[in-house]
Each structure stands twice: as structure tokens, then as C-alpha cells.
């Protein structure tokens, strides 16, 4: 059996505790908050992050220092043949390209495979679980890497944004557009399908946004995943909005009554939350 280690970053939503239970490693993502560096799930909890965000702290994301993942690689390579490293999508951060550069160094070349899986949050998590399952089955690292790259676009995420404040703050929309959207009480629906976070639709209410996401998912399942909802894992994510996420889960189950799986629900990555704020909901899927 191939002895392959699986590594990801905390954008996957996998906590350090969950990583130990699954048998993988997680690189914590750094955040600069009012000039001080914090590490997700190490020195920064979900609760602390949203408290600081609500208090108008100056928060920005950062790439992990190369040593933070290279030290993990070196340690794992002491008793593993190879490593599959699945960081967040290169379209959302430069950390993936940085890892690729260092993986080409002599000590890691041919043993560390960095996967630009074009995913984040719950879909990135599913790619990690898929990789772990393949490694446990005895598949070698090159074959796992090829599978992950061949299937990298076989996922979707739709995100309802509850406030335009953080999109404006991050420069993704103009102050004038944010002001008009706030007056009109717009709830933008964004899409991650592939490498970028793009605008998808506009809603006036949370219920309308939920319907937009459900209908978009139905369309994806029909056009991209063979028309059978059981060909995918359905997933829900949220930004400090667990009650609304639970209600949304029930609505999604009603919309897909033939779905036989469990809808995994979790917090959306803090790297995304930093740019959209609290109160958001996301509906996602990953091909089985």
C-alpha cells in the first residue's frame, strides 16, 4: 500500500482536531488584524474573528510563510513516500503558486505534489477527503494528483452576501454601488466555479437569494452532473450564521427530495468571510 500523506490548509474548513481524526495535516492560514498576526484555529477562533470583524478591526489575509508548510512536508517525508498538498484555489490566493515553486526544490521534487484544485471551503474539504480515500486504497501519489486535477472543475459554490460593507471595503464594488445596493437592500449572490469569485445574481431578500442558489444548483446538476443529484455531495457553508444555515439545509432537502446523502454544513473559510462579512450563506456541491 502506498504511504501517502495528505496536507491542506485551513481554508478547507478542516480544524486541527478534525485533521488528527482524519489522519491529515492542516497548514493554518495567517491573518493580519490591527497589525498583529493570528493563525486560524491556532491563535484565532471563529468567535474571535467575527467579534473583531464586527468591531471594525483592520483585517487582511496573508499567505502562509513557506517555512510553515515546508516544515510540515519535511516532517511527513521522514516516514511517507510522498505528499499531496491541496491549498486553496490559485484564483483566490497566491499561496498555491508559492507552494508549487518550493515543491520543485531538490529535497521535495517528485515527492510533494501541489494540487491547484480550484476549490475552497467545503468543496476543498471534499477534495481532501477524496484524496485521503484514494491514498488509503493504495493509489500512488501521481495517480491521486492526476485524479484531483482531472476533476478540479467538478464543483460549484453559490454564496449569498448579507451586507455590501466588506465588498466595498475590499474594493470589489464601488462606494456608490454599495450605497445604492444598501438602499435597495440587495443580497448579491456570488459564484465560485473554477478559479474566481464572480457576481452571479442579485436578490432583494434572503428567501429570494436562497431560491436563486437552489435553482442554480438544480441547473448545474442537470447540465454538468448528469441530472442525478446523488452524483454529487451537497454542502452548505455560512459566515457565523448557523441557525439560518440549518433552516437553509431543510429547504435544500425539500428542494432535492431524492437526495440520499447527508448535507455537510460548516463555516465558510475565514479568508472568504474577511471579504464578505457575517450573515452569508452558501450552497455547494462536489462530484462524487
pLDDT tens digits for range 257-280: 999 999 999 998 888 888 888 999
Q: What is the mean pLDDT of the segment spanning 5-17?
A: 96
Assign 90 to helix, strand or coil: coil
pLDDT interval class at 173 (50, 70, 90):
very low
What are residue 143's phi and psi, to 5 degrees?
-70, -40
Residue, of 61 and 235, whose pLDDT is higher: 235
- The residue that leads in pLDDT, 217 or 277, is 217
Q: Which of 181-195, 200-214, 228-242 has the highest mean pLDDT?
A: 228-242
pLDDT for position 38: 95
DSSP assignment of 70-82 equals HHHHHHHTTT-SE
pLDDT at 176: 40
pLDDT of residue 135: 96
CA dihedral 154, 166, 278, 46 (to 10 degrees): 80
Mean pLDDT of the chain: 89
Say yes or no to pLDDT of 175 above 50.
Answer: no
The pLDDT value recorded for residue 196 is 66
Interatomic CA distance for residues 8 and 29, integer angstroms: 10
Q: Are strands 187-192 and 155-160 parallel, antiparallel or unpaired?
A: antiparallel
The span from the CA of 28 to the CA of 87, in Å, is: 11
List b or e across 89-99, with b for residues whose CB sees 16 or more CB atoms inside 10 angstroms: bbebbebbebb
Amino acid at each position: 500500500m502506498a504511504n501517502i500523506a495528505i496536507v491542506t490548509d485551513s481554508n478547507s474548513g478542516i480544524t486541527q482536531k478534525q485533521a488528527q481524526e482524519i489522519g491529515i495535516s492542516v497548514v493554518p492560514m495567517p491573518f493580519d488584524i490591527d497589525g498583529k498576526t493570528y493563525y486560524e484555529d491556532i491563535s484565532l477562533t471563529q468567535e474571535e474573528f467575527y467579534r473583531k470583524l464586527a468591531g471594525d478591526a483592520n483585517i487582511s489575509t496573508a499567505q502562509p510563510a513557506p517555512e510553515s508548510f515546508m516544515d510540515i512536508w519535511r516532517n511527513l517525508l521522514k516516514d511517507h513516500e510522498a505528499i499531496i498538498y491541496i491549498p486553496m484555489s490559485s484564483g483566490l490566493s497566491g499561496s498555491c503558486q508559492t507552494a508549487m515553486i518550493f515543491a520543485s526544490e531538490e529535497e521535495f521534487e517528485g515527492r510533494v505534489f501541489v494540487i491547484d484544485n480550484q476549490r475552497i471551503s467545503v468543496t476543498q474539504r471534499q477534495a481532501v477527503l477524496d484524496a485521503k480515500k484514494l491514498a488509503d486504497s493504495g493509489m500512488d501519489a501521481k495517480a491521486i494528483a492526476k485524479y484531483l486535477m482531472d476533476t478540479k472543475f467538478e464543483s460549484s459554490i453559490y454564496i449569498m452576501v448579507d451586507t455590501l460593507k466588506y465588498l466595498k471595503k475590499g474594493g470589489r464594488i464601488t462606494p456608490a454601488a454599495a450605497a445604492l445596493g444598501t438602499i435597495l437592500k440587495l443580497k448579491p449572490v456570488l459564484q465560485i466555479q473554477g478559479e474566481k469569485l464572480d457576481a452571479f445574481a442579485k436578490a432583494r431578500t434572503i428567501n429570494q437569494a436562497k431560491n436563486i442558489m437552489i435553482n442554480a444548483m438544480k441547473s448545474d446538476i442537470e447540465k454538468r452532473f448528469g441530472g442525478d443529484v446523488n452524483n454529487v455531495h451537497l454542502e452548505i457553508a455560512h459566515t457565523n450564521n448557523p441557525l439560518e444555515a440549518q433552516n437553509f439545509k431543510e429547504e435544500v432537502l425539500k428542494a432535492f427530495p431524492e437526495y440520499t446523502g447527508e448535507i455537510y454544513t460548516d463555516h465558510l473559510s475565514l479568508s472568504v468571510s474577511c471579504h464578505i462579512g457575517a450573515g452569508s450563506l452558501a450552497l455547494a456541491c462536489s462530484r462524487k
